[in-house]
Structure 1
Amino acid sequence: MQVWYAGYGSNLSRSRFLCYLTGGRPEGASRTYPGARDQSPPQDDRALTLPGEMVFAWDSPTWGGGVAFYDADTPGVTLARAYLVTEQQFADVAAQEMHRAPGVDLDLTQVLHEARHRLGPGRYESLHLVGELEGAPVLTFTTPNLAALQRSSPTAAYLRAIVAGLREAHHLSDEALVTYLLGRPGIAPAWDAASLAELVSEPTRR
């Protein structure tokens, strides 16, 4: 079965997401990923808008600051990017997000029937069915208990990955990027309009 994986944080960036499939270390991160059993690239990817709010929280050992979580229960708009992958690839991506070794398939029966499935207590162990695209389910994952995580500002490296992905998928202007990021809970106090404008105006990294 094919599924769409909806990334809303650093996985908005295609090059960062591919580290989950082919292995490698994203720019600015401290962790090297083993990759998936099937290292084929996504068969497609699309810009997507999810109902709900993206927030920055926790203190990631990979990025050194807050990272993105999806709150489906709070009104808002979350900009995402959907990648068309196999069910096995999705399981391996989820495993690496959960700091587990890839190689174990997931049973998606519950999330496909009930829209949510809590796999465990970890930061990204709650599966969400967020829609359907061209007949295939759109899935993402987030924390099962966002209230338990303290809001925390992201690092510049993490934000650069998000900015790159938002440019690639949603073609946002600098002004729109600042407006979107400034409205995310957890972005302050480390970031304000001026510092975000400086970051998004940086020359594109090659």
Structure 2
Amino acid sequence: MEVWYSSYGSNLCEERFYCYILGLQPYGSNKVERGCRNKTLPRDNKKIILPYQLYFAKERSKWGKGGVAFIHHEYDISQSTIGRMYRITEEQFLEVVAQENQLEDIYIDLSGVKKRGFADLELGWYDRIIYLGEEDGSPIFTFTNSNGITEMEKYSPAIPYQNIIRKGLSELGLDKIEINSYLSPFHNC
């Protein structure tokens, strides 16, 4: 089965996301990703607007000192977080979730996620899987932290991380002014 993985952080950048598929080290990161068993690149990708609030949390990551992107797990029509969806296999999605959470392997009943709207893994930073709907006959999923925005200490994004996000936003057609405007609220989290 194919699914859409909807990203909103560093995986907005196509080259960076491919590191999770192919097992490469993203520019600006200090970690080589292990990659997926199936190295087939996404069949399609496209921009999506997520009605969830974007924020940056965690003090340090593989990108250095500074926060990484999360979305608040409550639907909010007043919010517009820019995302990029990749059409990949269900197995690849599960392996990306595992890599993002520093886990060897993971099983998630995605049909159960569709029915309930979300599922919590209880392990890792990105421990909540959210079902976002359907596109072209395939379900759309993303992941974030199960704690709400008010429960997480905010940090400005690390510069290398921010640069990868900027590149991804540019790939989606935003110009420099739009990118700066989009990211400016997060410089002093």
For the superposition of Structure 1 and Structure 2, which TM-score range results when normalised by the shorter chain?
over 0.9
Q: How far, CA to CA, are the matches of 2:89 and 2:138 in structure 1?
A: 11
Correspondence for 1:108 among 110, 115, 120: 110
> SS at the partner of 1:162?
helix
| Cα deviations by residue, 1:61-114 (Å, 9 ceiling, x for unpaired) | 311210000114254110000000000000000000001124x44321221111
Scaled by the length of structure 1, what TM-score is found? Answer: 0.85
- Residue of structure 1 in register with 2:171 after alignment: 168
> SS at the partner of 1:128?
strand
- Residue of structure 1 in register with 2:69 after alignment: 68
Scaled by the length of structure 2, what TM-score is found? Answer: 0.93
Correspondence for 1:124 among 120, 123, 126: 126
Q: How far, CA to CA, are the matches of 2:111 and 2:68 in structure 1?
A: 28
Contact kept in structure 1, 2:102 and 2:124, CA below 8 Å:
no
Show structure 2 runs of 5+ residues with no match.
Answer: none
- Residue of structure 1 in register with 2:88 after alignment: 85
Percent sequence identity is 36
Deviating more after overlay: 18-27 vs 66-75: 66-75
Query: Displacement, 1:121?
Result: 4.2
- Residue of structure 1 in register with 2:137 after alignment: 135
Query: Displacement, 1:24?
Result: 1.1
Query: Displacement, 1:46?
Result: 0.5
In the alignment of these two chains, the number of paired residues is: 185
- Residue of structure 1 in register with 2:54 after alignment: 54
- Residue of structure 2 in register with 1:195 after alignment: none
| More RCO (CA 8 Å, sep 6+) | 2
Q: How far, CA to CA, are the matches of 2:123 and 2:42 in structure 1?
A: 28
Q: How do 1:149-164 residues align onto structure 2 when only pairs under 5 Å count?
A: 149-164=152-167
> SS at the partner of 2:93?
helix
> SS at the partner of 1:150?
coil
Contact kept in structure 1, 2:5 and 2:141, CA below 8 Å:
yes
